[in-house]
Structure 1
Amino acid sequence: MDTVRHLDDGTTEETTGEIHFGWVLEGRAIQDIWIRPKRPAPSTMYGTTLRIFDPAIGGWHIIWSDPFNQDYSRQIGRAEGKDIIQIGDDSRGLKARWRFTEITADSFHWIGEERSSNSDPWQITYEHFARRTSP
């Protein structure tokens, strides 16, 4: 993946990394591993997401954990048109929205946004441009 980090001063920082997706728990969940080895933190990321579908809510329970940065998030994800939108709170108490857009069989664009309250506008913090490198 190629990553663009949007900094508070309006500049950006570009890095690369990798993502591994797979079915786990006998096909009952999807787990992904995100690796962005650039230092210093917070550009470094070693985290995992567990996504479990809940038919009662018509969506996914999402649990993110990055023990390297002590960053944790719980979200609910649902399809919205051709996109997947996940919304919840992060470990700093901020509202977090993760959007998977431009989804194809071989790529997607992931947009990470945050805001401090429901009345604040969403601010883009990260973008990941992922592409499949092997079947």
Structure 2
Amino acid sequence: MTTPMPAFLDALHAAGPSPDRGGSMDLYGWLIGSWALDVTRFRDDGSSWRRPGEWHFGWVLEGRAIQDVWIVPPRGPGRHGDAAANGNSFGSTLRVYDPRIDAWHIQWTDPVLQAYLTMVGRKEGDDIVQLGTMPDGQRMRWSFSRITPDSFVWRAELSADGGVTWRLSVEFHARRIGSA
């Protein structure tokens, strides 16, 4: 049985960044809104698959965090059958700015794929780079680049040699839907 949750959603949602975090929230604040995705996954055997997706970002927890929902393929008739077997993704990321380290703690969860990842995100030049370690010990790097008000490229890369070399595993080309 589905129960409406307006009190929960109202408690989670924030109208904007918390004033006590200053401009530090800007690193990810530009993402607030909805994005259409063109997703390419690169397999170890050299093959790839491409799908559309959707990504939504909002202020949460009194404006001290940004949460997203990432859905591939987008909701609708394209999402059918066994989600995990079809390579579908429906996850959420919580990004929390930590003024003590001047960086962001990032926790991504995808209950479809049973994936749970933790990273630290910082600005690097014109990009945003999130670094962490996969459960199998590989290093991971997720980055936002070619950032404009209405588009960006997001890449997930893996390294089996401690960050000496990187292999591209997923790339999203994002385009803003509507206004922020």
TM-score, structure 2 normalization:
0.70
Larger-Rg structure = 2
Displacement, 1:91? Answer: 3.4
Residue in structure 2 matched with residue 36 of structure 1 by the alignment: 72
| Secondary structure class of the residue paired with 2:66 | strand
Q: 1:10 aligns with which of 46, 58, 74?
A: 46
Cα deviations across residues 21-59 of structure 1 (Å, max 9, x unaligned)? 011001000001000036554621000000000111111
Aligned-partner residue type, residue 116 of structure 1: A
Displacement, 1:7? Answer: 1.1
Is 1:27 the counterpart of 2:71? The answer is: no
Is 1:46 the counterpart of 2:82? The answer is: no
Higher strand proportion, which one?
A: 1
Percent identical among aligned pairs is: 47
CA contact (8 A) 1:42 1:69 kept: no
Alignment gaps of 5+ in structure 1: none
Residue in structure 1 matched with residue 169 of structure 2 by the alignment: 125
CA distance 1:25–1:40, change in 2 (3 Å): closer
- What is the alpha-carbon distance in structure 2 between the residues aligned to residue 4 and residue 100 of structure 1? 15
Aligned length: 135
Aligned-partner residue type, residue 16 of structure 1: P
| Greater than 6 Å deviation, 4+ residue runs | none
Q: 2:141 aligns with which of 97, 107, 124?
A: 97
Higher helix proportion, which one?
A: 2
CA distance 1:41–1:102, change in 2 (3 Å): farther
- What is the alpha-carbon distance in structure 2 between the residues aligned to residue 58 and residue 42 of structure 1? 39
- What is the alpha-carbon distance in structure 1 between the residues aligned to residue 106 and residue 139 of structure 2? 14
Aligned-partner residue type, residue 40 of structure 2: V
Residue in structure 1 matched with residue 29 of structure 2 by the alignment: none
- What is the alpha-carbon distance in structure 1 between the residues aligned to residue 87 and residue 122 of structure 2? 27
CA contact (8 A) 2:89 2:110 kept: yes
Residue in structure 1 matched with residue 158 of structure 2 by the alignment: 114
Displacement, 1:12? Answer: 1.5
- What is the alpha-carbon distance in structure 1 between the residues aligned to residue 114 and residue 177 of structure 2? 29
Residue in structure 1 matched with residue 14 of structure 2 by the alignment: none
User: Which moved further from structure 2: 15-24 or 92-101?
Assistant: 92-101
- What is the alpha-carbon distance in structure 2 between the residues aligned to residue 29 and residue 119 of structure 1? 28
